Amino acid sequence: MGVAAQQMLQAGRVPIIMTSTRIPDEIHDRCAHCIGREHSICNAIDDCDLAILASESSKMTVPDGRSFIEEGEPAHDFFVVTGGRVKLFTLLPDGRRQITGFAEGGDFLGLAASTSYAFGAEALGTAVLCRFPHASMQRLTSRFPNLEHRLRQEASRELTLMQARMTLLGRKTARERLATFLMERARLLSAPVPEPHAPIELDLPMPRTDIADYLGLTIETVSRVLSAFKREGLISIRGITHITIMQPDRIAAIAEGLE
């Protein structure tokens, strides 16, 4: 292990592995087979221009728990999550935390920033990111005007989600929050109506603390409400992360405050 890496470990910091690809073919492939190509802003660019896209970006691997965006720091980069998961949050001076979102494969990060980031971000498990410096993004948008439109779309999508989350945080009960959370997770797996009443298997990759900070609750309340749902036969819990929604229609009703 190199001296620099040792020093970082001693300082309690794990190094971020930065891969800089140089060979054009490899560059093209990196973007061609990336999940961002399917779902994220990268689909605003034609196949033939992928090399340009790749040359303006770099791949990063972030180890579990490592933070890679500090709230309030000058915002230099955008990111696309290409593997693993990430949590986004804001902090109050005394340490209270609000998780403002979880991001995974294909999600775009960095729009909520003017000159400095309005949020912090940290890997939830090992995460792989694609980084776009602001200057690169500017070159890309001026070359591919369509990309700017795509960025706006992404921002609109995010705004729509936040609108719903504000209602959750401001007006829903603990039961309603957990039910909403479970349905949100369920919607991530299967896009359209799967089967109206079929059980939905979920894997919650985040610890209870994170769920609590996401829903504006305490870890105890999250635990209690999940136990109550289980007792009522609405969900079943096997292992900490593995939850099955047994009665999706009823959970959905609770989420909307109808029960």
Partner DNA sequence: GCCTCACCTTGACCTGGATCAAGTCTGGGG
Partner DNA sequence: CCCCAGACTTGATCCAGGTCAAGGTGAGGC
Q: Is 133 in the site for a second copy (CB under 8 A)?
A: no
The answer for residues whose C-beta is within 8 angstroms of residue 242's C-beta and 6 or more apart is 201, 202, 203, 204
Q: Is 159 in the site for a second copy (CB under 8 A)?
A: yes
Reported in sequence order, the residue ranges of 134-254 that DSSP labels E, i.e. its strands, are: 200-203, 235-238, 242-245
* CA-based nearest residue to 101, from 47, 9, 168: 168
Please report, as residue ranges, which positions from 53 to 112 form the binding site for a second copy (by CB under 8 A).
Answer: 90, 92-94, 96-98, 100, 111-112
Choose which of 208, 236, 253, 257 interacts with DNA (CB under 7 A): 208
Q: Is 227 in the site for DNA (CB under 7 A)?
A: yes
Binding residue count for DNA, defined by CB under 7 A: 20
3-class secondary structure, 250 = helix
Q: How far is the CB of 247 from a second copy (least distance, A)?
A: 19
- Part in contact with DNA (CB under 7 A); list of ranges 13-21, 47-55, 156-164, 167-175: 167-175
Q: How far is the CB of 245 from DNA (least distance, A)?
A: 15
Residue keyed to tokens 């909520």 = 112
Binding residue count for a second copy, defined by CB under 8 A: 42
β-bridge mates for residue 113, sequence order: 117
Q: Is 237 in the site for DNA (CB under 7 A)?
A: yes
In whole angstroms, what is the distance from residue 103 CA to residue 188 CA? Answer: 11
Length of the chain: 259
Q: Is 219 in the site for DNA (CB under 7 A)?
A: yes
Alpha helices in 33-102 (DSSP H): 35-39, 50-55
Q: Is 240 in the site for DNA (CB under 7 A)?
A: yes
Q: How far is the CB of 24 from a second copy (least distance, A)?
A: 29
In whole angstroms, what is the distance from residue 240 CA to residue 237 CA? Answer: 7
Residue keyed to tokens 């229609």 = 249
Q: Which helix (H) or strand (E) holds 222?
A: helix 219-231
Interaction partner, residue 33 (DNA, a second copy, none; CB < 5-8 Å by kind): none
Q: Which is nearer to DNA, 173 or 244 (CB)?
A: 173
The identity of residue 46, as a single letter, is D
Interaction partner, residue 222 (DNA, a second copy, none; CB < 5-8 Å by kind): DNA
246 close to 199: Cβ distance less than 8 angstroms = yes
**Residues found near a second copy in the complex (CB under 8 A):** 90, 92-94, 96-98, 100, 111-114, 118-119, 141, 145, 148-149, 151-152, 155-160, 162-167, 169-172, 213, 215-216, 256-258
